[in-house]
Amino acid sequence: MKEGARRAKKGQKQSRTVKKTSKNNRGLTKKNHQLEEKLLELYTLYNVSKTLMSVSLQLDGLFEVVMKLIHESLRVDEHCLMLFDQDRSELNIHAYYGMDEKLMNKITFKPGEGIPGKAAESGKPILVNDMSKKSDYNFYKGRKKLTGSFLSVPLKIGEDDVIGVLNFRKPKKNAFTKRDVELFSSVAEHVAIAIGNAQLYQRTRELTNKDALTGLYNRRYFFERFEKEIERAYRYHRILSVLMLDLDHFKEFNDENGHLKGDDVLRETAGVLLYQLRTSDVLARFGGDEFIILLPETDKESATVVADKLRDGVYKNNFIGEENIPSGKITISLGLATYPQDSSDAFQLINFADRALYRSKSKGGNLVCSYVPEDNNG
């Protein structure tokens, strides 16, 4: 009897030990799984940080890397990056992956509008577990019906400076976990810092490319762009034109009104010229009162039309102090040369435009002249 009781007690003790061991094993397995997840997250962040540190400071290249990195490291097949346009106070898409290309360039969000706008305004990530109930909140802004889960994470530099958002979509409901939100937010921090550095680099580079007086591109930058455009024109059998121009009677204006007023005329002339040009055209201050303009994809006939619009725009503008000079009017003279019609050599093309400008000046100014071989005799 006693022996049976001892065996039963021993069996119960063994059973409790087995259960305790099994429970401990399950707990250990869970902790190992959590540790593996944490290690994977740390490796992901390390990989993101390492990749972003090694990438170029050019924004376009950075965007491309970020999209690929998110796809490969976070395993999200649909995502986009939106940045604030400060002038328009809206979020614009700058890069995307796995999304409808036809709609991407048309989508914008104001601060507080939709999930991206709310995430940007609050500075906090926003998760939608079931997109079918929030059709106007996704990155298509209701223009395309989507299901699944949607996550918008702000791109922040520091605590308060939100520069944009990263948007993610997965096709299943409830696909993003709390840990996903934390991980994606950490990734967004690294991305924001990289973008901030690239933007600072771009602004600094733009300052070194700009003329301090007029705000136009300077001579050095113009030559960099010009050589690239000549190479592109040669490779793809395209055309381009160059305009050289300067102000007529500018020395007389300075003598009568002073150099500070002359600086005002240069700034105002720059504005008049810019207003008449396309965004693809490159206007630079060449030196003194001389300007140079690159007109991509523009033949001689079309460039002549542009040049005459510029001449007419300056002529019709009323400059303060121009009444003090003998001519009574600030005007410009322009010279024009076209690639490859006049020359296929970059520097010779500029030289030919300059010779055509000299002919405009010699004929009294306020005139547009195209290069002709006879200019070589001048």
Residue indicated by tokens 């020395």: 251
Q: Which residues pair with 128 in a beta bridge?
A: 150
Task: State whether 111 and 167 are in the same domain.
Answer: yes
Please list the helix, strand and coil fractions of the chain in percent, rounded to the nearest 5, in that order: 55, 20, 25
Q: Quickly state the pLDDT bin for 188 (edges 50, 70, 90).
A: confident
Helix (H) or strand (E) holding 167: strand 161-170
The pLDDT value recorded for residue 146 is 77
Whole-number pLDDT of residue 33:
44
Question: Is 30 part of a structural domain of the chain?
Answer: no
Same-domain pairing of 151 and 226: no
Could you tell me the two tokens for 176?
């993003």
In a domain, residue 16? The reply is no
Q: Residue 136: what pLDDT? A: 58
Residue 214 lies in a domain: no
For residue 244, what is the domain's CATH number? 3.30.70.270
Q: Point out the domain boundary residue: 177, 207, 237.
A: 207
* pLDDT at position 98: 85
The verdict on 148 and 249 lying in the same domain is no
pLDDT tens, residue by residue, 38-80: 444 444 544 555 555 556 566 777 777 778 877 777 778 888 8
User: What is the number of structural domains in the chain?
Assistant: 2
Whether the full predicted model's pTM is greater than 0.75, yes or no, is no
Most distant pair of Cα atoms in the chain: their distance: 134
Please write the tens of the pLDDT for every residue from 199-257: 887 777 777 889 989 999 999 999 999 999 999 999 999 999 999 999 999 999 999 99
Confidence of residue 290 (pLDDT cuts 50, 70, 90): very high
Whether 345 maps to a domain, the answer reads yes
Look at 52-56, 114-118, 279-283 and tell me which has the smallest mean pLDDT. 52-56
Residue 11 lies in a domain: no
Q: What is the rounded CA–CA span in Å between residue 53 and residue 76?
A: 22
Cα(291)–Cα(276) distance, integer angstroms:
14
Question: What would the mean pLDDT of 80-100 be, rounded to a whole number?
Answer: 85
Q: Is the pLDDT of residue 17 over 80?
A: no
User: In whole angstroms, how far apart are CA 351 and each of 76, 241, 284, 347?
Assistant: 54, 13, 16, 6
In a domain, 213, yes or no: no
Amino acid at 162: V
Give the residue-averaged pLDDT of 3-13.
Answer: 61
pLDDT (0 to 100) of residue 41 = 46
Using the structure block, give the residue that is written with the tokens 């002709």. Answer: 372
pLDDT confidence band for 184 (50 / 70 / 90)? confident
DSSP string, 271-297: HHHHHHS-TTSEEEEEETTEEEEEEET
Give the domain extent around 292.
Answer: 219-377
In-domain check, residue 8? no
Q: Does 29 reside within a domain?
A: no
Q: Are residues 254 and 170 in the same domain?
A: no
Which of 180, 207, 234 corresponds to the end of one domain? 207
